[in-house]
Amino acid sequence: MTQNHYDVIIIGGGVSGSALFYELGRYTDIKKICLLEKYDSLASLNSNGSANSQTIHCGDIETNYTLEKAAKVKKTAKMVEKYCLKHGYEDKVIFSHQKLALGVGREEVIYIKNRFEEFKSLYPYLELYDKEKLAEIEPAVIYDKDGNERPEDIVGMGAQGEYTTVDFKALSDTFIDNTLKIQDKVTDIFFNNEVTQIQKIGTTYHVQTTMTQFTADFVVVDAGAHSLYLAHQMGHGLDYGCLPMAGSFYMSNKQILNGKVYMVQNPKLPFAALHGDPDILVNGFTRFGPTALMLPKLERFKPGTYLDFFKTLRLDHNVIKIFVDLLSDSEIRNYVMKNFLFEVPYINKKLFLQDAHKIVPSLNEEDISYAKGFGGVRPQILDKKNQKLMLGEASIDTGEGIIFNMTPSPGATSCLGNAVRDVEAICEYLGFTFDKKTFNDELVDEEPIEGENT
Ligand SMILES: Cc1cc2nc3c(=O)[nH]c(=O)nc-3n(C[C@H](O)[C@H](O)[C@H](O)COP(=O)(O)OP(=O)(O)OC[C@H]3O[C@@H](n4cnc5c(N)ncnc54)[C@H](O)[C@@H]3O)c2cc1C
């Protein structure tokens, strides 16, 4: 075997790849692990704090999650929290704010109240806030610019004192730092190594980068939108296409909100959770967004990747059918058009304000500006076989020693949960041991769920 041979190679140094690197180092007896990253630093794309909403999506205020989905994301979200607390990363990597989902108008108020009843056993700390309480804890959602109370019925469902926010780039850095400290293992990282081709010869994977060649017994591709691109190159995941949905933000240089304020989400729109919250990268600023705009490229704010988009879309009659179905719904059509206009200078702010007023009625044009350089791309998956836009993450485990992960939101929150799924698959395939007990002791929350029999 060459010097460049590893038991496992991970492609992509975002939060997903970094979390896997950490778990392989800490919880398995795998000896040689390598991470290959295209750029010169970790988490420079979607896992960067400027690209995403920095939210730990644990399912309590995300109104697009069913109770079943919420229970799943709660478990993986807790892993991030437990990891951060174990290492003392409070107020450096993980932050605590109040948070709430706001119901505005009679219909949404009923919806939030019902949801509160349904979800409070899974999240015993949840509280219901009436107008008076909201005025006390989050006054900006109640008063208009003249200091008058907004007229609509309003209610909030939320929590105080929970960990709500993560700097996912800082989290990625800690995963790598902590892995590099592990003795008696080879844990290598190569930056500026863009993987251009993966080939399986016999039982060995040959990974060609722009710099050199590596080999491995197992490969995990955590390359964001490029995971599917590399899968297609190898003939995997051909029933999937990638639809890159960019998200942008608007910023206020004032502290307007005390915590995260989400709204009731339209169930037809998987990426519509416009919200406002204090920014953890720019202290004292408030961020609003994200928007959702289809962008014909796989990486935001980087040159190129237009051709990669077209290759990964794999346009055919199934993709056209998905688009036609989506656009035949007037709500989705209007939403698509509006999000396009959110990017057009001069009119964008006025239009965005109309939506943001639902959160902060007093917000005016002088308060916010388009956050240049902020935002990322959610690689949403098109399921061509079932002619549907998939709402969440997707993973292609070929069963042949290579896994491809596609991670739109809440992929950053689920980084440790997704990684442990892959750790188990890798250990089983290669015959290594996963120390599940230590993993559970350190990262899994055993808090009993009220009303559960077991
Ligand atoms: C607007 C927006 C808001 C979001 N908000 C949230 C949120 O609040 N909470 C949440 O949990 N999630 C959120 N997400 C989703 C979250 O950002 C992603 O799920 C997460 O960052 C994905 O991490 P990743 O490591 O899989 O991918 P990425 O962060 O995209 O990293 C992929 C890495 O692979 C590298 N790479 C790509 N191709 C190659 C190659 N050929 N060779 C080598 N390296 C390669 C890239 O350079 C990059 O470093 C949001 C996303 C967006 C766009």
* Residue 221 pLDDT > 90: yes
pLDDT of the residue at 394: 92
Q: From atom 35 of ligand 1, which residue's Cα is the shortest distance away?
A: 12
Query: Which residue among 11, 40, 44, 45 has the greatest number of ligand 1 atoms within 8 angstroms of its CB, and so is best to mutate?
Result: 45
Paired tokens of 81: 């929290």
| pLDDT level of residue 448 (50, 70, 90 thresholds) | very low
pLDDT band at 447 (very low <50, low <70, confident <90, very high): low
Average pLDDT, the chain: 93
So what's the pLDDT on residue 402? 98
Q: What is the pLDDT of residue 342?
A: 84
In this predicted model, what pLDDT tens digit does every residue of 259-311 receive, in sequence order?
Answer: 999 999 887 776 666 899 999 998 889 999 999 898 999 999 998 899 999 99
- Compute, in degrees rounded to 10, the torsion defined by CA atoms 175, 176, 178, 182: 130
Query: Residue 203, Cβ neighbours under 10 Å: how many?
Result: 9
For 346-390, how does the pLDDT look when each residue is reduced to its tens digit (9 = 90+)?
Answer: 888 889 999 999 999 999 999 999 999 999 999 999 999 999 988
Candidate of 42, 409, 416 to mutate for ligand 1, largest count of ligand atoms within 8 Å of Cβ: 409
Residue 2 has pLDDT above 80, yes or no: no
What pLDDT digit, counting tens, does each position of 120-146 carry?
A: 999 999 999 999 999 999 999 999 988
pLDDT in tens, 14-53: 999 999 999 999 999 999 999 999 999 999 999 999 999 9
So where are the chain's domains?
Answer: 5-97+161-443
What is the pLDDT, as a whole number, of residue 270? 67
Percent of all residues in the chain with a pLDDT value above 90, rounded to a whole number? 83
Task: State the burial class of residue 106 (Cβ atoms within 10 Å of its Cβ: 0-12, 13-18, 19+).
Answer: exposed
* Alpha carbon distance 83, 127 (integer Å): 26
Give me ligand 1 centre to Cα 224, in Å. Answer: 5
pLDDT band at 449 (very low <50, low <70, confident <90, very high): very low
pLDDT of 348: 87
Which of 10, 47, 69, 298, when mutated, tests ligand 1's pocket best, judged by the most ligand atoms within 8 Å of its CB?
A: 47
Tell me which residues have their CB closer than 6 angstroms to ligand 1.
11-17, 36-39, 43-47, 51-55, 57, 168, 194-195, 222-224, 226, 247, 290, 375-378, 407-413
Q: When comparing pLDDT for 179 and 326, which is higher?
A: 179
- Residue length, the chain? 454
**3-state SS, one letter per residue, for the chain:** CCCCEEEEEEECCCHHHHHHHHHHHHHECCCEEEEECCCCCCCCCCCCCCCCCCECCCCCCCCCCCHHHHHHHHHHHHHHHHHHHHCCCECCCEEECCEEEEEECHHHHHHHHHHHHHHCCCCCCCEEECHHHHHHHCHHHCECCCCCECCCCEEEEEECCCEEEECHHHHHHHHHHHHHCCCCCEEEEECCCCEEEEEEECCEEEEEECCCEEEEEEEEECCCCHHHHHHHHCCCCCCEEEEEEEECCEEECCCCCCCEEEECCCCCCCCCCCEEEECCCCCCCEEEECCCEECCCCCCCCCCCHHHHHHHHCCCHHHHHHHHHHHCCHHHHHHHHHHHHCCCCCHHHHHHHHHHCCCCCCCCHHHCEECCCCCEEEEEEEECCCCEECCCCEEEECCCCEEEEECCCCCCCCHHHHHHHHHHHHHHHHCCCECHHHHHHHHCCCCCCCCCCC
Burial label for 442, CB within 10 Å (0-12, 13-18, 19+), is middle
Query: For residues 376 and 247, is the Cβ–Cβ distance under 8 A?
Result: yes
Whether residue 1 has pLDDT greater than 70:
no
CATH topology of domain 5-97+161-443: FAD/NAD(P)-binding domain (3.50.50)
- Which residue is closest in CA terms to ligand 1's atom 14? 409
